[in-house]
Structure 1
C-alpha cells in the first residue's frame, strides 16, 4: 500500500513537472512556456520525433552533455516530442526537420539553433560558448582542443586536397586562441549549411602545427593581413588564386554569402536553397514569351521564334546550370500544349514544401526547391 502511494505521488509530480531523466527533462505543450520561456533559465531544447533515426542517435549525446551539468541549477536541458505532445512548440520553433536543437534564454532574446557536428564535444562547446563558462572535470575532450568537422590538412596533404575534384574552403586557425574559439561555432554552422554540396570540401590548417609550417609560410602574407582565423576559397578550376574572406567573423550568414558568390552556390544559413537556385534567369522571359506564342501561332513557328530569342539571351555568369535537362522538359511540354502538367507540379511541390519538409531527405529537398524555383518563375 505504501509503495502504491509513493508511486502514485511520484506519477503525479512527474505529470506536472515533466518526465525527468537525470538532467534531461521531457516537456510538452502544456508546460513548455512555463519551463522554457517563463523560467528565465538558459535552456537547451531538443525537438525530436519517435520515427526519426537521427533523433534516436542524438538523444544519448544530449543526455551525456546534460549529465555534465548535473547539480547546476543555472541551466536546464529539455526534450520535446514534436510528433506527439509537443506539436505546438515544434510548429513554432522547428524550421526544417528533426532533430532540431535550440538554446533558449527565456524572454530575453530569440533562441539560437545548434548547427554543429552532433557529437558530445561539439554540443558541449556550443553550450559553453553561449554561456561563456567552462565546466570542470569534463571527461569528453578538453574544449580548448577544438575538433572541427572539417578535414585537417598539413604540408603533406594540403596540395592533394586542393588540386582534387572539389572546390575547397580552407580555415587557417590557431587552436585555443580567443578569436579562433569565438569563430568555431560560426565555422561549424557554415560547414553544416553546405552539407549537401558534394563538390565542396572544408579543410583546416592549424598554423601552430609544425607539420603545417610550409603551408603557413606560403600564405603568411594573407594570414598577416587578414588576421586569425583566415578563410580562403579555392576553386578547383583555379587553385593558384584563392579568394580571401574579409567580412565579419561573428555571423555565419556573411561567410556563407561570400562562399556562395565565390563558387556560384545558393545556400542559406539553414542549408536550404535560395530562390535563384536552379534557375537560368536570362531564359525565363524567353520561355514566358514562348507560352504566349504557342497559343497564337503553330508549334513550328513558335519553336523557331523561341530558338531565335534564346540565341539573343545567352546564359548569364550567375545562372545555375544544374537543371538544364529539367528546362528542356518544361519547354517541350509547353510546345506540345502540356503546360498544365507543370502548373500542377508547381502546386504539388508547393504543398510538399509547406507541409512535409521534415520527411524529405536533403538531396530530394534540393531537387524540390530547384524545381519549385523554376516553375514559380515561369508559371507563378
Structure 2
C-alpha cells in the first residue's frame, strides 16, 4: 500500500512538473556555463524589482523552447538581485534587463533591438550561424503574431530610444520612475490601468515609462526637463520634446491622474474607460445652432471650417433640421435606444461614437 502511495505521488509530481529550458545561472557557475566548448549563450540579466524584466520573462522562456533541439545554443537567466549580483555588476552597464550573447571564449555582444521573439531569434542565428528549420521559423511567426496581438500597452523607453520612440506620437504620457523608488512601484499599477483600461481605445495616446537605475543611467532625461522628484509625468504633444509639460504633483489618486490626461488630450474618459458627458460636443457649434432660429445654412458654412470627430455628425444634424424641425429628438431617441438595447454587442469604438453623438444631441436639446 505504501509503495502504491509513493508511485501515485511520483506520477502526480511528474505530470505537474513543467521543465524549463532556460538555465538559471549564478555567480559561481556563470563563467563555466558561458565558456562551455562549442556553445553560444544568450543571457538575460534581470532584477526582481524590474517590471520590464517581468514582462520579458515569458518571451525568454519561449525563446529557449525554440532552440531546445539545437545543443549549440543556450538560453540563460541570472538574477542581479540575488545570487547573480557579482556577474551583473560586471556585465550590466546601462540597466535591467541587459541581454548579451556570449561565444565560448567569453566574448559577448549586447542586444539593443526590439525585444520580441523574432528579433531575438534573428540575433542568435546571425551571431551563432545556427539556422532554425522551417517548422521552428513557422513557430517564431506564430509567437510573433501572438506578441503583436498582446502587445504591451505601456512602452519601455531607454535614454537612447527616448527621442526616436516619441517623436512621431500625437500624444505621449511618460512616467519617469526610479528602480529604487517605492512610490514609483505603487504608481506603476495606476499607470498600467490608464493604458490598459481607461484609455485602451485611444490609439492616438502613447503610454511609456523611463526608469532611472541605481547607477544613475537615465538621470540625463530628468536633468533635461528639470525633474526634481519621481514619480513624475511628462506630457508630450505632436512629438515636441523641446517643450513638454512636466507634472511632479499628486499621483496617488487615479481620478486626479485621469483628469490630467483628459485635460492634456481633450479626451473625456471616466475611470472605467467610458466617455463622460460632454465628450464630442463642439461648444461653438452647439451655441450657433441654439441661436440660429431656423437659419441653418450659415452654420453649414461654419462647419466647413471646423475639425473634430463629431463635425460630420453636426453637419448631418443641421442638414436634417432644414427639412425636419424635430430631427434632433428623433435622432436622440434612436441613438439612445441602440445604446440601451445593444451595448453588450457593440465594439468599444462603436460605443464611443454613439456616446459622442448622444452627447451632441443632448447638448442641442437643452
TM interval, shorter chain, is 0.5 to 0.7
Unaligned runs of 5+ in 1: 1-119, 122-140, 295-301
Do the aligned residues in 1 keep the contact of 2:179 with 2:214 (CA within 8 Å)? no
Tell me the TM-score normalized by structure 2: 0.53
Match of 1:39 in 2: none
Structure 2 distance, partners of 1:196, 1:343, is: 29
2:290 corresponds, among 280, 288, 291, to: 288
Residue 379 of structure 1 corresponds to 365
For this pair of structures, how many residues does the alignment match? 224
Which position in structure 2 is the counterpart of 1:369?
Answer: 355
- The answer for the alignment partner of 2:322 in structure 1 is 335
Aligned partner (choices 179, 195, 204) of residue 200 of structure 2: 195
Q: Residue 168 of structure 1 corresponds to which residue in structure 2?
A: 172
Distance 1:304 1:345 in 2: 20
* Distance (Å, rounded) in 2 between the aligned partners of 1:304 and 1:334: 10
Alignment RMSD: 3.7
**Pairing 1:1-380 to 2, within 5 Å after superposition:** 149-175=153-179, 177-191=181-195, 192-208=197-213, 213=217, 215-220=218-223, 222=225, 224-225=227-228, 227-236=229-238, 238-290=240-292, 293-294=293-294, 302-303=295-296, 306=299, 321-337=308-324, 339-380=325-366
Secondary structure class of the residue paired with 1:275: coil
Higher CA-based Rg: 2
Q: Is the CA contact 2:275–2:355 (under 8 Å) kept in the aligned structure 1? A: yes
TM-score, normalised to structure 1, is: 0.51
Q: Residues 166 and 306 (structure 1 numbering): CA distance in 2 closer, same or farther, change over 3 Å?
A: closer
Deviation of 1:236 (Å): 1.0
Given that residues 172 and 231 in structure 1 are in contact (C-alpha distance below 8 angstroms), is that contact kept between their aligned partners in structure 2? yes
Deviations 1:4-34 (A, max 9, x none): xxxxxxxxxxxxxxxxxxxxxxxxxxxxxxx
Match of 1:113 in 2: none
Q: Which runs of 5+ in 2 are unaligned?
A: 1-53, 56-78, 80-95, 98-151
- Match of 1:266, SS state, is coil
CA distance in 1, matches of 2:321, 2:329: 11
Instruction: Show the counterpart of 2:30.
Output: none
